[in-house]
Structure 1
């Protein structure tokens, strides 16, 4: 890949892309990435930037049963065309629901584009194969979101699924660059390129141009060899999940809860709409930290936990500690 000297990236390629979606075909964009990489935030930005009369269908897949990301997108945008698939990955256990949603979107004949957010624990190969089976759809290059602040996290860098998502994607878009200074970004980019050479990196702010083919001299082609990969993923069995549900009047100490979550290295992701001392909030824990954002009050108070394979008593142990972060009950 061409050298990148700062984080104001441009779309960079070594070859000319040659294919547009076939005339009349519905373009499909997969925005993949590991847990907490910024997929949902990127989709929210895209929906808020697109033309108001442009109808996009969005398929959001969550490994847990709670539709937290779907609710987040609905609250942050005016887009009501969201198809939610929860409780399994669309690359394996939930693929039948995924195909049905795609067929329904095609039959409705009112959308100009489909955006797919697979679960952070999902693979790409089977997703692209399902899209390819529907002749009215045209798969465009896969975009993978990567949290740039975690490029020094050795545990994550050794994760097969994380590496596979990056390797199979056509474009890489980094999140959380605004938390770093230029010299840190340059150093991390160099490290990334040494592990994943010849990947095309785009600025997250350019995703709308990339998706809508606006002001681009090159035309986009999808890497069709992805559809014939012999290394198909089925990831549900490699991870465990549990949803903790609390009474609506339960209030958490946000600082104590954050400390508890950070103390468990086996924990890959935690999220949920909960009540804290600051009111109703969306709690979002990733390997890079824990954040709390205010949201409109609803009768929800639950936390989804996602881990790698752990001992049988792990969830009982962490639930006990999470309850110690409760202020009132």
Structure 2
């Protein structure tokens, strides 16, 4: 009998901490893991963050992994099994993906894998700032076997209880794990193997977010860029990428008005901005950013 490779889906809203979780798994889980990533934006920032960690990459590119890319997804999974023979396959979906179609396709079309579990990462701080749960986020929560309630250090105890109550009202079955920067015992994420029957999805995508990218060989003034980052909200909900300052390059992460910089080995500035009706603000945002070039 053929042994099926366990496959775990990591999903969750934009900026919730999926890639940070993935980096933690790669550093702490002593198994051969193959990764498929599906990003929202023209530049595959997350793939560049993960690369170099002795893992097999298959970048699915922009768009929605649960619809237009299903054929490519199946081919990528089969190619990874043939060439790498991993212990586990992890699929990180874009923050705007609805995972129900992906789960259905895994169960119906991929005979060489078995769905081990769906991990949904939720940003506790964003749940307080934006309490209305959108359509896509609700589906991501409903699909979860395990919910990682991330960034719990940024909310109060009473706020945390309110968030948990809301999550349980959407998904009564999933266990909820509290995390800071995605720090969790990987053994809690793998080996779930919950039996489920996923009905065929009948959703129609209504693009909620727009994105644009910006690349530059220039060096940027750090103080100016930090002021620029402080000014992004409310036009931009999520931004990520690499920014070159005089002494080194940094990984830039911005979510819902909160941002951070982390030293990172990269050649040049590459940034992706994501938000609602962003095409109307693109030129203005780029002009403000260019003012920081040295």
Note whether the superposition's TM-score is higher than 0.5.
yes
Q: 1:317 to 1:188 in 2, by over 3 A?
A: same
CA positional deviation for 1:210: 2.6
Residues 94-145 of structure 1 show CA distances to partners (whole Å, capped at 9, x for unaligned) of 3333222111012225211101100111110221233220111101221100
Q: 1:206 to 1:273 in 2, by over 3 A?
A: closer
* Higher alpha-carbon Rg: 1
Unaligned runs of 5+ in 2: none
1:57 partnered with 2:34: yes
Which range is displaced more, 177-186 or 143-152? Answer: 177-186
**Residues 141, 222 of structure 1: 8 Å contact kept:** no
The one of 261, 265, 288 equivalent to 2:232 is: 261
1:94 partnered with 2:65: no
Which residue matches 1:80? 55
TM-score, normalised to structure 1, is 0.79
Which residue matches 1:10? none
CA positional deviation for 1:251: 4.1
Structure 2 Cα separation of the partners of residues 222 and 37 of structure 1: 26
**Residues 8, 190 of structure 2: 8 Å contact kept:** no
Residues 40-88 of structure 1 show CA distances to partners (whole Å, capped at 9, x for unaligned) of 111111111112xx3110111111121211121225xx33312222222
Which residue matches 1:285? 254
Q: How does 1:1-329 map to 2 (within 5 A)?
A: 24-51=3-30, 54-74=31-51, 78-108=53-83, 110-132=85-107, 133-154=109-130, 157-180=132-155, 182-194=157-169, 196-204=171-179, 205-213=183-191, 220-225=193-198, 228-234=199-205, 237-252=207-222, 253-262=224-233, 265-276=234-245, 279-287=248-256, 289-296=258-265, 298-308=266-276, 310=277, 312-324=279-291, 326-328=292-294
Structure 2 Cα separation of the partners of residues 107 and 192 of structure 1: 39
Unaligned runs of 5+ in 1: 1-21, 214-218
TM-score, normalised to structure 2, is 0.87
Query: Counterpart of 1:36 in 2: which secondary structure?
Result: coil
Structure 2 Cα separation of the partners of residues 292 and 140 of structure 1: 34
Query: Counterpart of 1:221 in 2: which secondary structure?
Result: coil
Q: 1:271 to 1:177 in 2, by over 3 A?
A: same
**Residues 142, 170 of structure 1: 8 Å contact kept:** yes
Residues 295-316 of structure 1 show CA distances to partners (whole Å, capped at 9, x for unaligned) of 12x33212111122x1753211
**Residues 170, 223 of structure 1: 8 Å contact kept:** no
